[in-house]
Chain A
Amino acid sequence: MKRFAAVLMGLALVGTFGTAALAAAPADTLAEAKKKGVLVAGVKDSLPPFGYVDEKSREIVGYDIDFVKAIARKLNVKLELKPVTSASRMPQLTEGNIDIIAATMTKNPERAKQIGFSHTYFATGQKFITNKGKVKSLKDLEGKKIGTAKGSTSEQNVKTAIPTATVLAFDDYPQAFLALQQGKVAAVTTDEAILAGILAKAPNKAKFEIPPVQISNEPYGLGMRKDDAKFIAFVDKTILEMEKSGEAKKIFEKWFGKGTDFQLKRTFKITADK
């Protein structure tokens, strides 16, 4: 019985600390950021070309970073970048550690219940990397093991599209790709733009390909706290202006266009899509 009491006390302690940690997040980021003179953005730091550490400058650069840079410039405050993972970015935002998420985050209704999204600033679709010539359609992946990274929406999409497949979620994409190279999985799946980035860096890329099989649309949005209406409106307005001035297109071409490893075509425009 004594042990039980100890366990209960432990739980109570956890509860107290947990509740305390959930307490301090500003509801008006716009005013708060101007007052402090700094905007804190949660970004990926190992996912070229969205957010990764540049080998020469040792700084985080990428498509996502250029967007938050533009927003900070418009706000006339300094930008601070904090690396986040797919699993940590939402709690970091709601707990007030970061003010905005620019980390390849797909907009979906489940997430929209918890946080506020900007208009779509990047659009892609979920595809697969496989061994060359092995996969012509979804049928070829039935009953196979498919790798992806934890905390992403990719997993559920595969389960819906190919119910007979087994999904293995690794800690990060490089591990999932290693599993593909070793034949442990038949394919690695996630958004095409990320796959293109993995493939571009792969040492033996000639063996692999991204077949034209798409299982979902993935519109990326910048994430902000849900009750932060003024800041959300400000970000929306800023990125719409960036589209109009051509800056958004320029950023896309810089990271994905001709002359890059990705060679993607811009098939979307930033519009008021909410």
Chain B
Amino acid sequence: MLKYTFDWSIVTSGKYFEWLVSGMKITLELSAVGIIGAFVLGLLIAVMKMSHFRPLRWIASAYLEFFRNTPLLIQIFFWYFGSYKVLPTVVNDWLNSTNFEFAAAAIALTIYTSAFIAEDIRSGILSIPREQMEAARSAGFSYLRSMQYIILPQAVRITVPPLVNQFLNLAKNSSLAMTIGVMELTYQARQVESYTFKGFEAFTAATVVYLVLSVSITAFMDQYNKRVLNPHRA
């Protein structure tokens, strides 16, 4: 029988606590940048995919299939190591002098997640019967106004739950950034483990932070859905 003495003090104060907090900050930054970037980019791709102009549709389809169907880890390596081969030396030197690790991870997370978000948004818009658009147009609304007042308010409501899923996935996927040396939460938990061998405590602390982050995202989106999108139903 192995004796394992729990020592929670290492993750609640002192040097290792600071490591975990600094990791948490980077995880929050990565998640925030990723969620905003992926939403904006996803909206753009969804619109492109529904465009009446064929080349735009093709570009959007290629983008979707490529980034949805390759592993995120490989995409992170692609942006970090692969970009070196195609970029000119001047650009590489400049990138390498900046915090390129964070940037490459943020780009990979944003693009990967935007492909999923685009499909969620598109299916939300498609779920609104076409007759509504026709009715709005015959009532004298322009195409854009019909979208603004009739279609999008309903579509966004339908899209919120799958969007929450994508945001949660992104927040958790950010831990893959540690493979290229971004010192986020999982990375720091592993470091604490290698220095103290209190892996159980370190990873429990990290788990709690991820849980709080995920539950906060869900709660925020819930409230947004209730108060802003469906004020009459609540």
Contact = CB atoms under 8 A, between A and B. Distances in A.
A27 B180 CA distance: 39
B4 A22 contact: yes
B224 interface: no
Interface stretch (B24-32, B48-56, B190-198): B190-198
B90 to A, nearest CB: 12
A177 to B, nearest CB: 12
Contact of A110 (B1, B4, B195, B200): B195
Given A150-B187, A170-B179, A22 B2 contact: yes
Contacts of A96: 2
B81 A94 contact: no
B84 interface: yes
A179 B200 CA distance: 31
Nearest to B104: A184
Contact of A14 (B3, B101, B180, B207): B207
Given A18-B200, A110-B196, A150 B2 contact: no
A184 B93 CA distance: 8
Contacts of A156: 195
Chain B, interface residues (CB within 8 Å), range: 20 to 34
A23 B93 contact: no
A147 B92 contact: no
A90 interface: yes
A152 B194 contact: yes
B37 interface: no
Contacts of B191: 150-151, 155, 169
Interface string B180-224: 110100010011011111011000100110010001001100000
A201 B22 CA distance: 36
Interface in A110-139: 110-111, 113-114
B67 interface: no
Nearest to B214: A7
Contact of A3 (B4, B180, B215): B215
Nearest to B200: A18
